[in-house]
Structure 1
Amino acid sequence: MDLLLFAIGFIGLIVGVILLLIAAIRKVPKKKAGMITGVSFVLFVAGISMTPVDETEQSNAPATALKQDSQQEAKKAEEQEAKEVTKKKEEEEKAAEEQRVAKEKVAAEKKAAEEELAKKKAEEQRLLAEKKAAEEKVTAEKAKGEKDKTDRLKKAGTASSLGAIGLTPVQLVKTIDGDTIKIVFEGKEQNVRYLLIDTPETNHPRIGKQPFGEEAKERNRALVNGGKLEIEFDIGQRTDKYGRLLAYVYVDGKSVNETLVEEGLARVAYVYPPNTRHLDPYEKAQVRAKAKKIGIWSVENYATHSGFNGGKSTTPSSGSSNSGSSGSGGSSNTTPPPATNSAPASGGTEFFQNCTELRKKYPNGVPKGHPAYQAKMDRDKDDFACER
């Protein structure tokens, strides 16, 4: 019924509109046309209002709207959660990537440091090896040089026959005794103690003047003033504890040390390796002097391996010793005092040539103030000489 009314009203409305148009065109009375239109409109409105509506739909409309809103909210929440999960995942991946890069960087730096350390150690080992090789080379060359020199000396028979090695010209200042002179060396005056030989004393504070001491001094003076003076150092230390130079002395290329031994005015002594370059010829010269019984060898037991026995010479004579050249065969006419282990000196003192002789009488040495005490025998300067 409602639909019928709606249809009738709609049709009436259409008819009314058409009638109005026709009335306007054909000049139909407006009043009549308006009435038709009004009736048709009323019917149309009535039909619309009478159209049946589903009550269930009306009652469920708010719930449906609420459900739709909830679904939209849930969808939005899911989308937001998905975005957050995606963002968190991206952040975690980024953090993991940064951590991986950092670990790789640390590992690379550690590897580089280890390589640098290994390179440094290898360089240090290389330098040490080169240094060791250089030192071994120098040592080998030095040993070879010494061996070659020794071989040459042995082949020649004596060191003097080959001539000295590394002679240094010096200027003589004065002759001190038979085995010591003063020279100008490197711009200053210095005493030179002859290597490998020993002559009797001429002015010792305790011993005084020993037999053949003056003869050795005068012969030494004559030799060193006889030509070009030169000295030669050995490979060991160049000075003694008194600051004296230790050297071999030459005049016009001839050994003064060997000449004094050859003429019986010096004995071979103070042999301290490695300063032994000319020991062999000196010992041979001493054997010849002993065989001839000249100078210090003319008196039995006066010159020994440990020194000169006896104290002051009672009849020193400047002309009593052979002062000629090596091998002249002259001998001394001076007779020294009988050889003893100790000789009482003035003032109640006792003299011993060295600690070996002193210990024969005083096995444990002597303290400072004892009549036999000598400063030269107190090498450790503890005021006790020749202690064991």
Structure 2
Amino acid sequence: MKKVSVALSVWMVVAFIVMGLTIPADVNAKASAKFTDSLTKCVDGDTAHFKKAGYSRFLYVDTPESTKKIEPYGKTASQYTCTKLKKAKKIQLQYDGARKDKYGRTLVWVWVDGQLLQELLVKKGYVKKFYDYGTYSYESKLVHLQATVKKKKKGLWSGKKEPSIAKTSSSKKKKPATTKKTNFKNCTELRKYYPHGVSKSHPAYQSKMDRDHDGWACER
């Protein structure tokens, strides 16, 4: 029995090294205590930037791609996640095992106003699969929930075409005002002329308006 236990431990260590993960002290560790954080930028359905945690990947869930490669329900999942995070009165995060993936992203459980965001995504049918880098605290719950969602044919499992994302008609969309002004007091004033913000190369760019220091000021 001891030999089997040792062999299993060695195998798990090798697996973590191959996947480029930081090996936790205990791969079966429970999630850490929740800590409050704030959103700085939403990326897509399972990725976001937070003030304390930085560039973060949501633990265990994998939503369809919505940036470089557009997959079915990718935009829908992204819009859902971003809306939840932006409207949340309180965001809390939890670590669970390895804290970084091979891309350097922080791995976290995300709570919005007391609800586990990963669970909400599964319930809506926006999670295409799970990725497993260890044994997680809410893993079993999400797996069982996914099975129920598939039976109910929700979201990705409905067999229906992804609903259109609400957009303002280009013909009715109000055109932004034009100006040669480059010095703005704040982002509210700047967005009247540049709705999507400005890059670092733009004359109106000011570092104080670039909160996440990504070279883009006042982006939404």
TM interval, short-chain normalised: 0.5 to 0.7
Task: Confirm or deny that 1:269 pairs with 2:130.
Answer: yes
Give TM-score, length-normalised by structure 2: 0.58
Paired with 1:272 and 1:165, the residues of 2 have a C-alpha distance of 16
Computed over aligned residues only, the root mean square deviation of the Cα atoms, in angstroms, reads 2.5
The answer as to whether partners of 1:203 and 1:209 remain within 8 angstroms in 2 is yes
Q: Give me the whole-angstrom Cα distance separating, in 2, the residues matched to 1:316 and 1:242.
A: 32
Question: Any idea what the Cα deviations from partners look like across 1:91-129, whole Å, max 9, x if unmatched?
Answer: xxxxxxxxxxxxxxxxxxxxxxxxxxxxxxxxxxxxxxx
Change (3 A) 1:219 1:233: same
Aligned to 2:126, the other structure's residue is in SS state coil
* AA matched with 1:233: Y
Q: CA separation in 1, counterparts of 2:84 and 2:147?
A: 22
For 2:89 and 2:149, the matched residues in 1 are separated by: 25
Aligned to 2:139: 279
Spell out the pairing of 1:98-247 with structure 2 (5 A cutoff): 165-185=32-52, 190-204=54-68, 208-225=69-86, 226-234=88-96, 236-247=97-108
Match of 2:121 among 260, 265, 270: 260
1:130 equivalent in structure 2: none
Q: Secondary structure at the match of 2:100?
A: coil
Q: 1:291 aligns with which of 151, 155, 158?
A: 151
Q: CA deviation at 1:165?
A: 4.8
Contact 2:73 2:155 in 1 (8 A): yes
Q: Do 1:174 and 1:182's aligned partners in 2 also have CA atoms closer than 8 Å?
A: yes
* Post-superposition CA distance 1:19-45 (Å, at most 9, x none): xxxxxxxxxxxxxxxxxxxxxxxxxxx
Q: Is the 8 A contact 1:214 1:316 kept in 2?
A: no
Flag the structure with larger Rg: 1
Aligned-residue sequence identity (percent) comes to 33
Deviations 1:143-164 (A, max 9, x none): 8x96xx7xxxxxxxxxxxxxx7
Structure with the bigger percentage of helix: 1
Deviations 1:196-221 (A, max 9, x none): 100010112xxx21110010011101
C-alpha distance in structure 2 between counterparts of 1:292 and 1:260, whole Å: 15
1:299, distance to aligned residue in structure 2 (A): 2.3
> Which residue does the alignment assign to 1:318?
165
* Contact kept in structure 1, 2:63 and 2:129, CA below 8 Å: no
Q: Secondary structure at the match of 1:185?
A: coil
1:7 counterpart residue number: none
Q: Give TM-score scaled by structure 1 length.
A: 0.34
Higher relative contact order (CA 8 A, sep 6+): 2
Runs of 4+ in structure 1 off by over 4 angstroms are none
- Conserved 8 A contact 1:265-1:295: yes
- Contact 1:268 / 1:282 at 8 angstroms: preserved in 2? no
- 1:319-334 pair list within 5 angstroms: none
Q: Which amino acid aligns with 1:198?
A: D
